[in-house]
C-alpha cells in the first residue's frame, strides 16, 4: 500500500476539514509514494515511540496528537522536534495524525471512551455535536470511579473525583482530552457526572461551588493520555479492515507525562 492511500482514507474517515482552527493533524513527515507494510499507532510522538517504530520496522507512526502543533524554526538534532523529525526521516518512518478531527467523529475518541465506560443511548453534549452524553446502570459515584479506573490505562495521577462518594449516578457526559472549556455545557446538561482531562484549579473550583449552591454534576478528572489511548484499538481495527495487507500495531508505551505520585 502507498502512504498516499492511507492518508487519503484517513483524512476522509476523520475529516480533516473538521479539525479545530488551532490544530495541525495530517501528514507531518513522509513521502506519499512510499510503500507501507507496518504501522505503529500511538497517542504521542516521543523518542520512545520513534524507537519502538524502528524496532518494529514500521514505515509509519499514526499518532493522535500531531507532532507539529505549531511551526518550528529548525529541523536538526539539537531540538526535540528536530531530533524526532530527523530520526524519523533517517529511518524511513512517516508520521501522520488524526486529532481534533477524530475527537467527536462517529466511533471517534470520545465515543470510544463512552462505550468503554458502559455508556449507552449516546447523544452529543453540545448542539455543535461535541462531547458525548449517555446513560449507565445506576451506581454510586465511587463505584463508577473504581470501574473507570479498571478500564483506563494505569497512570501516576489516578482518577480525581469531585462529589459525594455515595451520590447515585445514572447519566454521564464526557469529553476525551482537555475539556474544561465544556464545563458550562456539562453544567447546563441534565447529567449526574462530567468526565474530562486537564482540569485547572479555578474552573474546577468554580463548578464545585456552583454545585454546592444550586446543584449540578459531579466531576471526574482522568489522564489525558488514558482517555485517548483507548481509541487506538478502534482506529487500528478499522484500518485493518480497509487495508488488510498492512499490519497495524498499537503501541503499549505509556506516554503520560508523569512517572509517579506521592500521596499526602
Boundaries of every domain in the chain: 3-99, 109-225
Identify the bridge partners of residue 120 per DSSP, sorted by sequence position.
135
pLDDT in tens, the chain (264 residues): 999 999 999 999 999 999 999 999 999 999 999 999 999 999 999 999 999 999 999 999 999 999 998 778 888 999 999 999 999 999 999 999 999 999 999 999 999 999 999 999 999 999 999 999 999 999 999 999 999 999 999 999 999 999 999 999 999 999 999 999 999 999 999 999 999 999 999 999 999 999 999 999 999 999 999 999 999 999 999 999 999 999 999 999 999 999 999 988
Q: 3-99 with 109-225: one CATH topology?
A: yes
Concatenated DSSP letters for 32-94?
TTSB--EEEEESS--HHHHHHHHHHT-SEEEESS-S-SS--S--STTSHHHHHHHHHHHTT-E
* Angle at the Cα of 171 from the Cα atoms of 179 and 148, rounded to 5 degrees: 65
- In sequence order, the 6+-apart residues with CB closer than 8 A to the CB of 30 are 3, 60, 88, 93, 94, 95, 96
Contact 161, 145 (CB under 8 A): yes
For 19-61, the pLDDT digits (tens) are 999 999 999 999 999 999 999 999 999 999 999 999 999 999 9
Query: Which residues make Cβ contacts (< 8 Å) with residue 118, sequence separation at least 6?
Result: 136, 137, 147
pLDDT in tens, 139-156: 999 999 999 999 999 999
Do the beta carbons of residue 99 and residue 25 sit within 8 Å?
Answer: yes
The domain defined by 109-225 carries CATH number 3.40.1390.30 = yes
Instruction: Give the C-alpha separation, 162 to 72, whole Å.
Output: 39
Residues of the chain above pLDDT 70, percent: 100
CA 41 to CA 232: how far, in whole Å?
A: 6
CATH topology of domain 3-99: 3.40.1390
Task: Print burial letters for 47-77: b (CB count within 10 Å at least 16), e (below 16).
Answer: eebbebbbeeebbbbbbbbbbbeeeeeeeee
How many whole angstroms separate alpha carbon 199 and alpha carbon 176? Answer: 12
Q: CA quadruple 35, 39, 45, 50: dihedral positive or negative?
A: negative
- The grid cell for 196 is 474530562
Contact indicator for 40, 251 with CB cutoff of 8 Å:
yes
Contacts for 27 with CB less than 8 Å, ≥ 6 apart = 3, 7, 94, 95, 96
- 8 Å CB contact between 261 and 158: yes
Output the pTM of the full model.
0.95
Amino acid at each position: 500500500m502507498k502512504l498516499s492511500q492511507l492518508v487519503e482514507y484517513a483524512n476522509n474517515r476523520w475529516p480533516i476539514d473538521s479539525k479545530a482552527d488551532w490544530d495541525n493533524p495530517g501528514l507531518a513527515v513522509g513521502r506519499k509514494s512510499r510503500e507501507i507494510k507496518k504501522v505503529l499507532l500511538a497517542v504521542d510522538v516521543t523518542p520512545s515511540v520513534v524507537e519502538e517504530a524502528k524496532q518494529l520496522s514500521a514505515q509509519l507512526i499514526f499518532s493522535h496528537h500531531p507532532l507539529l502543533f505549531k511551526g518550528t524554526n529548525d529541523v536538526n538534532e539539537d531540538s526535540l522536534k528536530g531530533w524526532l523529525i530527523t530520526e524519523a526521516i533517517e529511518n524511513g518512518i512517516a508520521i501522520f495524525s488524526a486529532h481534533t478531527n477524530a475527537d467527536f467523529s462517529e466511533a471517534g475518541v470520545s465515543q470510544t471512551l463512552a462505550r468503554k465506560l458502559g455508556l449507552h443511548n449516546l447523544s452529543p453534549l453540545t448542539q455543535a455535536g461535541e462531547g458525548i452524553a449517555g446513560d449507565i446502570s445506576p451506581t454510586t459515584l465511587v463505584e463508577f470511579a473504581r470501574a473507570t479506573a479498571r478500564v483506563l490505562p494505569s497512570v501516576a495521577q489516578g482518577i480525581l473525583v469531585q462529589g459525594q462518594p455515595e451520590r447515585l449516578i445514572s447519566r454521564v457526559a464526557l469529553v476525551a482530552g482537555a475539556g474544561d472549556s465544556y464545563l458550562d455545557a456539562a453544567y447546563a446538561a441534565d447529567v449526574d457526572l462530567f468526565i474530562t482531562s486537564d482540569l485547572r484549579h479555578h474552573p474546577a473550583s468554580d463548578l464545585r461551588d456552583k454545585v454546592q449552591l444550586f446543584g449540578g454534576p459531579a466531576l471526574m478528572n482522568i489522564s489525558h493520555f488514558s482517555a485517548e489511548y483507548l481509541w487506538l484499538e478502534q482506529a487500528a481495527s478499522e484500518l485493518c479492515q480497509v487495508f488488510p495487507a498492512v499490519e497495524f500495531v498499537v503501541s503499549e508505551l505509556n506516554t503520560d507525562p508523569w512517572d509517579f505520585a506521592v500521596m499526602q
